Amino acid sequence: MYVCVCKGVTDHQIRQQVSDGARSWQEVREATGCATQCGKCACFAKSVTREAVHEA
Ligand code: FES
């Protein structure tokens, strides 16, 4: 599912970043570009990241 429409970032990509070693929203954002355009996805993207980090 797309989390960020502007940058075409999916929840799968966010989880992949976390399994590749990202441990913060900052790192996920830098790696994917998620939430770097309109910013509307930031809240949901952060919660996906938090969940993935928690599960990691
Ligand atoms: Fe993510 Fe616009 S939907 S920056």
CATH assignment at residue 16: 1.10.10.1100
Q: Report CA(10)–ligand 1 centroid distance (Å).
A: 11
Q: What would the pLDDT profile of 14-50 be if each residue is shown by its tens digit?
A: 999 999 999 999 999 999 999 999 999 999 999 999 9
Instruction: Tell me what pLDDT residue 56 has.
Output: 82
Pick the closest to residue 9 from 23, 30, 51 (CA basis): 30
ipTM above 0.85, yes or no: yes
Instruction: Tell me what pLDDT residue 12 has.
Output: 98
Instruction: Tell me what pLDDT residue 23 has.
Output: 96
Closest C-alpha to ligand 1, atom 3 = 4
The boundaries of the domain holding residue 36 are 2-55
Cβ atoms of 17 and 46 within 8 Å: the answer is no
The number of folded domains in the chain is: 1
Instruction: Tell me what pLDDT residue 43 has.
Output: 98
